[in-house]
């Protein structure tokens, strides 16, 4: 067994070399935000949609556009607004007077990387159309369903402070996002570098250094990364602790959690931990991989109670207690 793990480790070390080159290319434009970029790459390598939350001006959109620029891939951006219609997203049937028949005009969702900017500004019908694309990787126009590319990823942004004119995302849709990432302010040193870079004569540019095939191959290698049964059980315990905290010596969390994480969280924790190990060039998963990626996968899946809101507790507070208490293998 040890020799098999060693072989996998050597293979992953070799196949993950391009990750550092990709991160270096992104760093030409984006200052700092290393953790954010790592987690976006985890989503990319795990075939998981990503929701970024942060106040305006923190380069959420720029980060995604920069990532797309580093990949030989189709990229489209949609600005979600309250008057957006499903047809604006997925396309519609258009009548051609010349041919006297209806033809399909495909919308911007037919791409590989889709940036859904300010996703919570669009109404329910648009979210419903997007949900089908996210879950089934297909779009229905008229009576026909059309497959989306194998590499199809939604990277969405939302603003947490301005709620006027927004529509809260349905829980079913939020659960489809593998990761919910909190984008934070830069440090003073980082902001100084941003100021220099963004006010210079020439704006920094990135070049495409990997292809969609490279990403799909990486996903295949990631599935081979070794995960010990102890790590597997640790993931199961973490998810179970969100549902029945009293069984894990956390009775104080019982009243703060209305609903725990779904089995989708368990699957994404395993996938995310493997992808995070791949970023580190390792052929095996450690508990630290699970702890690193865990809060971003569970943050939007733990539904808080009124008591939690009354005590001004958020999901990050609860997850910090949970990760500190659940026994690590």
**What integer pLDDT is reported at residue 72 of this predicted model?**
85
Contacts of 197 (CB under 8 A, 6+ apart): 29, 31, 204
The DSSP bridge partners found for residue 116 are: 78, 156
Percent of the chain exceeding pLDDT 70 equals: 98
pLDDT average, residue stretch 100-104: 77
Q: Provide the pLDDT confidence category of residue 297 given band limits of 50, 70 and 90.
A: very high
Sorted by where each starts, the structural domains of the chain and their CATH numbers stand as 21-215 (3.40.50.300), 225-325 (1.10.8.80)
Q: Provide the pLDDT confidence category of residue 164 given band limits of 50, 70 and 90.
A: low
Helices and strands counted in the chain (H then E): 14, 11
Provide φ and ψ at 242, rounded to 5°. Answer: -75, -20
Q: Provide the pLDDT confidence category of residue 138 given band limits of 50, 70 and 90.
A: confident
Q: Determine contact, residues 204/31, Cβ cutoff 8 Å.
A: no
pLDDT digits (tens, 9 = 90+) for 51-77: 988 877 777 888 888 888 888 888 888
**Residue 163 in this model has a pLDDT that exceeds 70:** no
For the full predicted model, state whether its pTM sits above 0.85. yes
**Residue 211 in this model has a pLDDT that exceeds 60:** yes
């Amino acid at each position: 067994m040890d020799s098999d793990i060693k072989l996998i480790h050597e293979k992953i070390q070799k196949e993950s070399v391009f990750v550092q080159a990709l991160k270096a290319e992104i760093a030409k434009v984006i200052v700092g935000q290393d953790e954010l970029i790592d987690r976006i790459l985890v989503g990319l390598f795990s075939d998981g949609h990503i929701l970024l939350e942060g106040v305006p001006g923190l380069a959420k959109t720029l980060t995604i556009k920069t990532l797309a620029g580093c990949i030989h891939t189709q990229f489209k951006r949609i600005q979600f607004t309250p008057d957006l219609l499903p047809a604006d997203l997925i396309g519609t049937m258009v009548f051609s007077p010349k041919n006297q028949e209806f033809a399909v005009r495909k919308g911007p969702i037919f791409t590989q990387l889709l940036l859904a900017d300010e996703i919570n500004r669009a109404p329910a019908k648009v979210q419903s159309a997007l949900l089908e694309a996210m879950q089934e990787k297909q779009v229905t126009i008229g009576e026909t369903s059309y497959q989306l590319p194998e590499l199809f990823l939604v990277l969405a942004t939302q603003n947490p402070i301005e709620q006027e004119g927004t529509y809260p995302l349905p829980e079913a849709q939020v659960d489809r996002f593998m990761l919910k990432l909190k984008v934070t302010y830069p440090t003073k040193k980082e902001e100084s570098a941003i100021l220099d870079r963004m006010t210079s004569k020439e704006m920094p540019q990135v070049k495409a250094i990997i292809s969609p095939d490279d990403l799909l191959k990486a996903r295949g290698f990631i599935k081979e990364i070794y995960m010990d049964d102890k790590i597997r059980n640790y993931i199961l315990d973490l998810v179970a602790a969100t549902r029945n905290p009293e069984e894990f010596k956390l009775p104080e969390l019982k009243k703060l959690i209305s609903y725990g994480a779904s089995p989708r969280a368990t699957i994404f924790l395993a996938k995310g931990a493997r992808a995070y190990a791949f970023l580190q060039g390792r052929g095996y998963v450690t508990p630290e991989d699970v702890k690193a990626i865990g809060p971003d996968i569970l943050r939007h899946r733990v539904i808080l109670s009124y008591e939690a809101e009354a005590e001004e507790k958020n999901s990050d507070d609860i997850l910090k207690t949970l990760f500190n208490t659940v026994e690590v293998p």
